[in-house]
Amino acid sequence: MAASEKLKSGFRAVFALDLRSLAVLRWCLGVVLLADLLFRSTDFAAMYTESGFAPIEFVREQQKFYQWSLYFLNGAEWFQAALFVAEAACALALLVGWRTRLATIGCWVLVVSQHVRLPVVLSGADQLLRALLLWGMFLPLGAVWSLDARRRERPRSMRVVSIATAALMLQIAVMYMATGWAKYNEDWLKFNALGNILTSELFSLPLGHMLARYDWLTLALTRGTVWFEMLMPALLFVPLQTARLRVIAVVAFVAFHVGIALTMVVGLFSFLAIAAWLALIPTEAWDRWLGRAAGLGVEEGRQAVRKVCCRLSNGVCAAVLAIVLYCNWCGVGQWVLADPVHEWIYKVAQLGYIYQSWGMFGIVGPGDCKFVYQATLRDGRTIDLLSQELDTGLRESTFTWQQIPNDRWRKLHWNLLSDFGAAYRQPLAEYVVRRWNETHDEREEIVRFDMYSHSEPFKSAGAEDRYVQIILAEVVAGEEGGNFSRAVRELKDGY
């Protein structure tokens, strides 16, 4: 066998995906999109209308470079709501596999538009959702178990291989390797990073708090997580025993994300990650579970590849893959291309919203962060709007993750502490005051509002024993209806 044929055979063996696995990915994406829209709709007034804390012009002023969004075309509530409805329609079409390619493109365009509309609330789950939809546009997601499949001839093979299948596998592997590399630091290799995360009121669930009591366990999991994320994805690219090793990787990572979902608040990330791994279930596993479909072989070849996508889409997919891999390399590597090439690639990646940076929980930080919405009412009472407690003291706050409505608000508050989200502090404070006063009688109106953040050191070694208070924003309403407000970032140490 010629060297070129051996190379092609190896490529097909490693990067082949099963059409049934891609159908499962399609189902999962449809369900996640609908669930995400449902969660976002509960915050529609606050986050996506001109009367909320992030009007369109304000958001555009925060952009460091141009990014497009359909949401920027019209700020009217009916238009913003119409885009929600359009995304739901595309998600339903994707779920049932009707006009699957167009539905996937529509979902990607609408999701990107939605993310550009308010980037300060985005998380790793949103980045992963965009990535899966991006590669889904080039994949035969509707080839089987779909309405589209009922109108077409049965595929000659359940196995498909193309640039897009390779892109999806590389995307998944790169995400974990980059995340593992981001954890290659003292927090994870010297201290008990996972133990600290599981004691955090902002991210930990009850089961996580329980596991945090066992330092020996969280310390072992801390070290293991780094190497697991960096090394385990390599199983996907071993040309020997490919199917068996891939099943091992799928089972391991699904279990990994089930554990995360049970112990930590990470939004829809774990569900999306599981969906991505289910897309990699090999043909051999399906044939063993369901039996080989009558009349369907496992032949692969140039004709099958051409049926999946034309040469033009393969070329576009390859170019996008190169940009994505380069962006990920820039996040972990020391070497980058010289300008203007690097600048051009960066601008293209940002314009197409395909820029990626994976570093979830890479830097844990020295302390647990808590928030206080301290409001002084006209009747003289002082309460914390988050905990609904009277006369709240900063260090005595009983802040827990349940007091933040959902993952969007949690991410927003986390970003308020950084330069990225600093501009949103004052608009958020003013929105909170405005909404409270609209829904309460005059005696209970807020006359002064102070938004605080305070952190206390984690119990693990390496955390400095100091208390840090940050005043994020203040709103003072005068007796005659005047308003004076200011946003500050003041750090005070307490012991």
Stretches where the chain sits below pLDDT 50 are 294-309, 394-396, 461, 480-495
434 contacts: CB under 8 Å, gap ≥ 6: none
pLDDT, tens digit, for every residue of 44-69? 999 999 999 999 999 999 998 889 99
Q: Which residue from 417, 405, 428 is spatially nearest to 474, judged by alpha carbons?
A: 428
Question: Based on the number of CB atoms within 10 Å of its own CB, is 438 exposed (0-12), middle (13-18) or buried (19 or more)?
Answer: exposed
> What pLDDT is recorded for position 108?
98
Mark residue 353 as left, alpha or beta (left: phi above 0; alpha: psi -120 to 50; beta: remaining).
left
Give whole-number Cα distances, 391 to 312, 375, 384, 388, 452, in Å: 65, 9, 7, 10, 14
pLDDT at 366: 63
Which value, in Å, is the radius of gyration of the alpha carbons in the chain? Answer: 25
What's the pLDDT at 299? 39
Residue-wise pLDDT for 94-149, tens only, equals 999 999 999 999 999 999 999 999 999 999 999 999 999 999 999 999 999 999 99
Q: Cα–Cα distance between 197 and 193 in angstroms, integer?
A: 6
* Buried-state track 178-205, b at ≥16 Cβ within 10 A, e below 16: bbbbbbeeebbeebbbbbbbbbbbbbbb
CB 457 within 8 A of CB 390: no
Cα separation, 254 vs 491, in Å, equals 41
